[in-house]
Amino acid sequence: MRSSNDRDLRIDFFRGLALLVIFIDHVPNNPAAAWTLHNFAFCDAAEVFVLISGISTYLAYNGRLQRDGLAGCARAVGRRWCTIYVAHLLMLAALWTVATLLSRRFWAIDYVDSLRLTWFHDSPREAVISALTLSYLPRFLDILPLYLVLLAAAPLLLVVVRYDWRLALGLSGLVYLAAWLSGVNLTQGRNHHGWYLNPLTWQLLYTMGIVWAHLGKTAPRSTPWNWRWAAGASVLICFGALSGAFGPWYIPVTSHPWLFLWPFEKTFLSPLRILNVMALFYVVACLVRPQAAVLRTPVAAPLLSCGRHSLAVYAVGVILSCLGLIAVTESADAALVHAIVNLVGIPVLIVLALMLEWRRTARFASAAEAVPALPVSKAAA
């Protein structure tokens, strides 16, 4: 366990914030979503989450790679992969159960169809097989499968980054361009099943997160922390904010590959989305230190806890998003119901994270008390 003295609190804080924003954005027509990132930038909370996932992957497994080699690192990643895979399947089962049970009592719309769960009723055997192979992704279940694909490649990616981070970025960029220019689309039929976030393009942002963390550890002076870069990043952030505020200027992406340049194209992760989230992270890294005093305040503690227990918070957030969708739809988007969904859902996620953090702290404290004191000889004394 890394001590609080050397842990980068920014990672937990902004990951926790991203998870709460994802919950807010998942509830349809949510008034609170008017104040989230996607209205003030080309990117949104998904890009923040994936970039932070790349950074945290390096911090979590680079040490294991150094100590135990590729095999040891792959075993550690494999254990985490299995945990997330099981969590994804449990979320899918819970989502289907909630939608099926509640659709028997509420009829404003077909909630099973709205959540893209009809395939389970029409062809349950095929749907289960596709769900197990991650080729069937109902609504709200896009991020974890993407992360599973990225995490599976993490051991080899870490090896390449340690060998030469430029080579890693070059190879990742080639995959991105190949998928972008060729129009390779893993999202065919996504109205019923399939991928919304194309992993062949989103892997570039994940790789950039790993490289960012690698340079921060091995060559901190190689990162150009100066006012010129900060000014350029700030200009890009302002441009994204103005574009988001006066947009969105959405054009459906056709088979023509050059339209993937359109800044609001999310499936293939348009270049402006990548530049925008990287600019945001650069400015935040310049202004906020890893152990900033503001991140140690009681106000920041809930978000830190959400970031440290991201899997549980995300899983419960998906179920709450489903319940929120049903509640606001049945009430015809009543303002009071929207307020209740936010004022109940967000505190539930925070309380869950704080309880898990309390349990985690208590477990480590018990383990520390259980370690016997080593006898000290007179000579040593």
CA distance 182 to 189: 18
pLDDT of residue 219: 78
List the domain boundaries for the chain: 9-364
CA distance 208 to 169: 7
For 150-177, give the DSSP string.
Answer: HHHTHHHHHHHHHH-HHHHHHHHHHHHH
Element (H, E) at 92: helix 45-103
- CA distances 180 to 46, 154, 172, 263, 290, Å, are 19, 22, 12, 14, 35
Q: Is the pTM value of this prediction over 0.75? A: yes
Other CB atoms within 10 Å distance of the CB of residue 105: 8
pLDDT of residue 302: 96
CA distance 365 to 330: 47
Residues of the chain with pLDDT under 50: 1-4, 188-192, 249-257, 374, 376-381
143-152 vs 45-103: helix crossing angle, rounded to 10: 130
Closest CA to 256 of 244, 265, 248: 265
